[in-house]
A and B are shown apart, each in its own frame.
Chain A
């Protein structure tokens, strides 16, 4: 695999993670803070 390709795939991965995290954050917006924190912990146990 070429370095260009590796870098492009890594950028895609990062973009995908960011868009999923943003969508989840948007979905949790408006919920009470404590509930939001609990749900985030369940969805991202390792933190994100």
Chain B
């Protein structure tokens, strides 16, 4: 998935459809700006009424409000209201709600508006919700939250997600490059190796390669060592992915810079062969 395709997927979620005729001509940054403007517009539109609901919620005991929120309001409304409540109030309500419902709220929540609540939710609850999101295939929601959860909690979430390719899917949707670099750096070396192997097995290089451009030097070097240990066919698949997409090409250049010179030479030969149609 290219950065533009990732932004299109996020916009499709906002609009509830992938038919978006007005996005032509927008690059990834333009689409992101558009999404943020639409989220702000929608939030501002509903804000006066949601504020009244938030005020009314202070009149009832938290246990009742949590139950009403879960049983009647549903994930969307709870998500909207969460950002209008005082952090302690929202946190107390969230803690009373079951993990599966919190996963529904998370899917609708703009974490930027409720980042203090998100950061305050106990780590084990975040892990439980993250596992549910992965089981539901909702990598986008989890990726959007990575920016706002503590490093220790992120480490625990990574440990709880057994599937390396699922981690890769989550990483696609992390918004901040710095946080993405931190996330990849938290993946233990053995899991990084398994991630590279799984990527190669499923020919998922278009998903992994773009991350190489934002990895820390340590993670990039570690990835390069793993790539060096793979058979020649792996390099060929990497080159094919890189030549098909500029963001993959940028990632390949980042990894190539720290590959062993022999492997750099093989890589260069493959690129030339691709470009000229000659056998490598």
| Chain A residues packing against B (C-beta within 8 Å) | 2, 4-5, 8-9, 12-13, 15-17, 19-20, 23-24, 26-27, 29, 39, 42-44
Contact = CB atoms under 8 A, between A and B. Distances in A.
B72 A20 contact: no
Contact of A2 (B22, B53, B77): B22
Contacts of B15: 8, 12
Interface string B14-56: 1110001110000000000010001001100110011011001
Interface string B61-82: 0000000100011101100100
Contact of A12 (B14, B73, B80): B14
Contacts of B80: 20
A3 to B, nearest CB: 9
Nearest to A11: B15
A38 to B, nearest CB: 11
20 contacts: A5-B34, A12-B14, A12-B38, A13-B45, A15-B16, A17-B46, A20-B49, A20-B77, A23-B76, A23-B77, A24-B53, A24-B73, A24-B77, A26-B72, A29-B72, A39-B56, A42-B52, A43-B49, A43-B52, A43-B53
B22 A16 contact: no
Contact residues of B: prevailing secondary structure: helix
Contact of B73 (A5, A17, A27): A27
Contacts of A4: 21-22
Given A8-B22, A16-B42, A23 B52 contact: no
Contacts of B56: 39, 42-43
Given A16-B45, A20-B49, 7 more contacts: A12-B38, A16-B42, A20-B46, A20-B77, A20-B80, A24-B73, A43-B53
Contacts of A29: 72
Contacts of A39: 56
Interface string B138-174: 0000000000000000000000000000000000000
Contacts of B52: 42-43
A42 B48 CA distance: 11
A12 B42 contact: yes
B248 to A, nearest CB: 30
Given A17-B46, A19-B76, A27-B68, A9 B53 contact: no
Contacts of B34: 5
Given A12-B14, A12-B38, A42-B56, A17 B72 contact: no
Contacts of A12: 14-15, 38, 42
Contact of A27 (B21, B42, B72, B76): B72
